Every structure is written in structure tokens, then in C-alpha cells.
Amino acid sequence: MRVNAYAAPAAGRPLVPITIDRRDVGPDDVLIEIEYAGICHSDIHTVNGDWGPQPFPVVPGHEIVGVVAAIGARVTRHRVGDRVGVGCMVGACGACANCRSGDEQYCLRGMVATYAGTDRDGTTTQGGYSTHVVVDAGFVLRVPDAIEPAAAAPLLCAGITTYSPLRRWGAGPGRRVAVVGLGGLGHMAVKLAHAMGAEVTVLSQSLKKQEDGLRLGADAYLATSDPATFSELAGRFDLIVNTVSAVVDVDAYLSLLALDGALVNVGAPAEPLSLNAMSLIGGRRTYAGSMIGGIAETQEMLDFCAEHGIGAEVEVIAADQVNEAYERVLASEVRYRFVIDASTLR
């Protein structure tokens, strides 16, 4: 099946219209007619070469929502007409210890990324900035009707990437959580941590988005450009989720943790982050990372969002506005996720 898409032709080059081939629907596959695809900062890191060489042309997009258009003979968990989603991964071995424990994203044989990944048949995967995609049914999520489809798309990456560490490090009543950076991931972290019952503080570069942050569920909002923020909040937080796409002063954020507190990095900048061991030793602190979440956990997150009336704050754009959207994300001007309307690709 030949379909329309938008692709980066080479590192750092603007995205252009392209046609790509989707594989035939195999016995375990689902064909999805894409409605919306979110723009994640990871798409930008990838096509800009921040994370190393890529198999160009790359069709980005791993926040996909659409409707099932066909299913393979062995598929039982999805039906034609269902609203479904696909996130950052479309395959994993299913047999290793990590897959068996529901952590397919850490598959010991390597998970198959939704784009710029190597699929089981050896072909390169292409993502959601496209009209259709064929995905193994085991990696297709159910999107509850209670969530608007455009607002649901970013949950498939920004949602699960923040939900997973918030759950793992116990965000909930009586716990103080800080979110660094109010972008796509950050605004989901605020909504989710608030819904889990935690006390939430946003640490943003400036106070420009303060009103939004408080409306999204933050209890406090401070600017990291003001040195007083770091003295005022010293030793305060049980958990800090760093969503910043650039290098930050890790030691400064570690100093904001209480005894046994954890700073979890989900932001994945091009350059290495460094820290002073004393920043950890002083308060028995943890510095950790976290990558998306497993399939069952992603479904749990979607159901949690439906139950709590949570969706992303989105700006829906036509596919030909993607390069402009990238510029605005890079300038921290996104409020709070760009989502491509895939009907503009038809």
C-alpha cells in the first residue's frame, strides 16, 4: 500500500512530502487510518541528528491515533472501526525477561522503534506523519472514547513517558513533585501528578507560562532564571521529573531534593549531562532515567486519563506546517503539543 507522508530527507533538512510503502496486513497486524500524529521533541532530535546517524529519509511520528481499517486473521484484541493508538514502539521479542515483565521498551534484543527502527522483516520503520500505518496488534492501544482523538495522540509518548516515572517513584498524596520544563512532556507531567494527588511545582525558565501551569494543576510555579528559586526550594522535593531537551545544571536540581529524593531524567539532550557525586551523597539522593513505558502500562495510563478527564493541550496543524512547528518547539513556544491532522495529507 503506497501512502502519503512527510519525511526528513537528510539530517537537519526541512521535512518534505513523500510517498512510502506500508507492508501488507499480516495475520497479526492492524491497518490504522491515522487521524492525528503528535510532534514530539524526539522527532526533532532524531531528524536533526542529535542522537547520531539515521536511515534517511525518516518519517517521524510516534504519537499516533486513528481508526482500525483492517485486521489480520489472528487479531482478536482490535476490531475494524475501533479508535486506537500507537506510541514509540511497534515490536519487541516478547520472550526476554524484560518483555515478560511488561517492560518491552527495554527488550534485551532491542525494541523496534516506530520510526527509524529496524522491523522484524529487516525493513526500516516509518512513523505517523502519514495517512496509514500497519502495526503488530500487540503494540496497538485502545483509545477510550472519553478522550478527544487529537488530545489523545500526545498521550502515546508524552503521556506515558511522564506517567511511568510518576508511578514508579510514588507520586501521590503527601508527596512533593517538581516538573522541570513546561513543554509537551512537562505539561502532561503536571496534569498527571496533580491527578495522582501530589503537590506539584513547575520549574520553568521564566514566568511566561505561569497562568497556564497553575490552570493545568500546578500548586506553585517558579522561574529557574531567578537564583532565589534554588535557595527557596532547597531540599523540598521527593521527586523531580526533568523534561528539558537541553543540558541543565543537574547539581542545582539535585539540591532541591529531600532525603532519599529522586531526580528522574526523561529529557534526552544531544550533549552529555554531568553531576558532582557529592550532590547525591549528601542526601542519599537518586539520579535516574526512564524511557516511555510498557504496553500494559501505556493502556493503564490511557484508562487513567479517561477516568480523570485528562488529554493533552494541543494545537492542531496541517502537515505542511510541520517545519514551522519544529521551529516553535525549538524556541520553547509550543503550548503544549503540536498535532498533525493527517486528513491534510490525503
Q: Minimal CA–CA distance to 200: which of 232, 177, 168, 233?
A: 177
The reply to whether 40 sits near ligand NAP by the rule CB under 6 A is yes
Which of 31, 248 has the CB closer to ligand NAP? 248
Burial degree of 118 (CB within 10 A; 0-12, 13-18, 19+): middle
Dig out the grid coordinates for 228 from the structure.
Answer: 532565589
Q: Is the peptide bond before 336 cis (omega within 30 degrees of 0)?
A: yes
Residues in 288-307 that interact with Zn ion by CB under 5 A:
none
Report CA torsion sign: 93, 112, 304, 161.
positive
The reply to whether 181 sits near ligand NAP by the rule CB under 6 A is yes
Element (H, E) at 230: helix 227-232
Q: Which one of Zn ion, ligand NAP, none is in contact with 164 (Cβ closer than 5 to 8 A by kind)? A: none
Question: Of 133, 134, 157, 239, which lies in the binding site for Zn ion, with binding defined by CB under 5 A?
Answer: 157
C-alpha angle with apex 188: 7 to 64, nearest 5 degrees? 35
Residue nearest to ligand NAP (CB): 183
Residues in 324-343 that interact with ligand NAP by CB under 6 A:
329, 332, 334
Dihedral angle of Cα 318, 320, 325, 330, to the nearest 10 degrees: 160
Residues in 266-325 that interact with ligand NAP by CB under 6 A:
266-269, 290-292
Least Å distance, CB 173 to ligand NAP, is: 26
Mark 182-221 with x for binding to ligand NAP (rule: CB under 6 A) and - for no binding. xxxxx-----------------xx---x------------
Q: Minimal CA–CA distance to 269: which of 293, 284, 251, 249?
A: 249
Q: Which one of ligand NAP, Zn ion, none is in contact with 183 (Cβ closer than 5 to 8 A by kind)? A: ligand NAP
Least Å distance, CB 6 to ligand NAP, is: 18
Question: Of 5, 25, 39, 42, which lies in the binding site for Zn ion, with binding defined by CB under 5 A?
Answer: 42
How many other CB atoms are there within 10 angstroms of residue 81's CB atom?
8
| Distance between first and last Cα of the chain | 14
Which residues of the chain form contacts with ligand NAP (CB under 6 A)? 40-42, 45, 157-158, 161, 181-186, 204-205, 209, 243-246, 248, 266-269, 290-292, 329, 332, 334
Q: Summarize as ranges the residues that interact with Zn ion (CB under 5 A).
A: 40, 42, 157
